[in-house]
Amino acid sequence: MRDALGLDWALYLPAARSPLKSAAPGASAQDRLDMLAAALAGAERCSIGTLELDRGDAEPSYTVDTLRTLRRALGPSVTLRLLIGTDQAAQFHRWREPREVLALAEPVVITRPDAGADGALPASMAERWRPDEMAAWRRRLVRVPPIDASSTEARALLSNDATRDAPRLLELLPGPVLHLIRDRALYKAP
């Protein structure tokens, strides 16, 4: 996406605790940070930020707060973009101060194969956004080639002792990430 959009840098910011998810992440903040570092090892023009994790998980992570902090640190000359999936775009109206988020960082909505036609996302959002806002949402859609990967599937395979060594896991996860998960016994069923 960085190259496709002509972006200079990609910053990954793992959330401490999502306000829109009732369940806590299946791994600790440090484990998630380590998995992300393992996945990005050797990648160019990207880094990992711990801004949200540093706040702790006592309070939910709000994108608007993170973007305000980044804007203050980077100044007005840096253009911020926010990469989200169609699932997040569909519930964007539920985010804290969604219009302020839009003002701070233009979203890029990565369409997924299971999202249906490009028109399906805007149709589901039309009742919550003005016509001019909907036109902007349609311009934010970026189709990516389908990837046969699902975090839900990976977690299901990892939680089942019988499938923890399934070859499919190597298709879903980079080797270093899978090794870290296995070494730390992450995502195993209780």
Higher pLDDT among residues 67 and 6, named by residue: 67
Q: How confident is the model at residue 82 (pLDDT cuts 50, 70, 90)?
A: very high
Whether residue 99 is contained in a domain is answered as yes
Residues 6+ apart with CB under 8 A from 76: none
Structural domains counted in the chain? 1
Of 8-17, 26-35, 46-55, 145-154, minimum mean pLDDT range: 145-154
Whether residue 142 is contained in a domain is answered as yes
Whether residue 161 is contained in a domain is answered as no
Res. 114: pLDDT tops 60: no
Res. 11: pLDDT tops 60: yes
pLDDT for the residue numbered 39: 94
Whether residue 120 is contained in a domain is answered as yes
Whether residue 135 is contained in a domain is answered as yes
Res. 46: pLDDT tops 80: yes
Q: How confident is the model at residue 152 (pLDDT cuts 50, 70, 90)?
A: confident
d(CA 57, CA 51): 12
Whether residue 117 is contained in a domain is answered as yes
Mean pLDDT along residues 160-181: 85
Whether residue 169 is contained in a domain is answered as no
Whether residue 153 is contained in a domain is answered as no
Res. 133: pLDDT tops 60: yes
pLDDT for the residue numbered 93: 92
Domain that holds residue 89: 81-146
pLDDT for the residue numbered 154: 86
Residues 6+ apart with CB under 8 A from 133: none
What is the SS3 assignment for the chain?
CHHHHCCCCEEECCCCCCCCCCCCCCCCHHHHHHHHHHHHCCCCCEEECCHHHHCCCCCCCCHHHHHHHHHHHHCCCCCCEEEEEHHHHHCHHHCCCHHHHHHHCEEEEEECHHHCCCCHHHHHHCCCCCHHHHHHHHHHEEECCCCCCCHHHHHHHHHCHHHCCCHHHHHHCCHHHHHHHHHHCCCCCC
Residues 6+ apart with CB under 8 A from 79: 106
